[in-house]
Structure 1
Amino acid sequence: MASASEARDRARRAREHADRLAAEAERRSDRASGMYGRFAGGQPLLVGHHSYRSAVRDRARADAATWRAIEVRKDAERARDKAARLQAEADMVERLQGRGRAWTFADFRIGDVVEVRTFRTCTDVYRVKRVNRASLTLQGPGGGFDDPRRPYDRVLARIRDGVRLTDLATLT
């Protein structure tokens, strides 16, 4: 796992890249809109007229520029989504590296509420159903047949008697 500063730098670079792509998409969109200026009055293409070939060529160029602008805008949206994901990962890395010591089975009781990391950036809140040596069995929504088990390294916080505990180093 990368350090928190490396993760923040990666997220910052991705955000800057997404901003550059968004500016490029806007510039291309404005350029493509300007290329349709010849057709703004609604004049149809006149087959057989001396301007027909150049009008068809101008329309094809404007259409191609519009499609390129759309593709760059899609790239910008993908880059923005990636930047948001990297920022969430950086936040999670920072949160995990800020802990003083690891959780153990002695830190939990049945009925505690825990916030656990389910994927790289997602968290869920569950009630502890059973405390095992290497993991917690949590109370799932299905009434027992789908109770999730999470190892202690995925626990982010414990709530007991209304007190939220995120760093065990504060207990000792």
Structure 2
Amino acid sequence: MNNNPFAKLPEVAAFQVTSNDIVEGFPLPPQQYASGVEGGKDLSPHLKWSGAPEGTKSFAVTAYDPDAPTGSGLWHWAVINIPAGVTELPAGAGDEHGSGLPEGALQLPNDLRLERFIGAAPPAGHGPHRYYFVVHALDVEKIGVDPSATPALLGFTMLGHTLGRAVLMATGEMK
């Protein structure tokens, strides 16, 4: 598969992200699928990170499917202004209330224009999709995008503020 979402971005330091729910390179569990899919619960996965670069003042978390048949992929989740002292989000943090997010963090509308995590729902027969769960270490406390901004605009705004990136990629497919 082509379309590496980081291929044309400036190189930055790598750090680690793990999850109790998803495993690098393996299929997503049912609860990380969309609620309209059998077993799907639109449940954002647990994420825990370590080793962020020195100078990190905040984090952003994104979930992106570059294989969605849209011409531009599909943004499933975007969280901004996570304080630098936070290194973990519990499963379900991305519900419609952001109930598991730390104070000050904000969910931007995803590509369905919902301010929450939306689970995987690749079209049947479309083949495997990659789901990138990324923690971005930023050099600012607040990234300064409007709360109604798209995740794509967030990505553009983060371009000059990203110190490091921790990436966890899982897959999904509907037969």
TM-score range (shorter-chain normalised) is under 0.3
| Higher radius of gyration, 1 or 2 | 1
Which structure is richer in relative contact order (CA contacts within 8 A, separation 6 or more)? 2
Task: Select the structure that is richer in strand.
Answer: 2
Greater helix share, structure number: 1
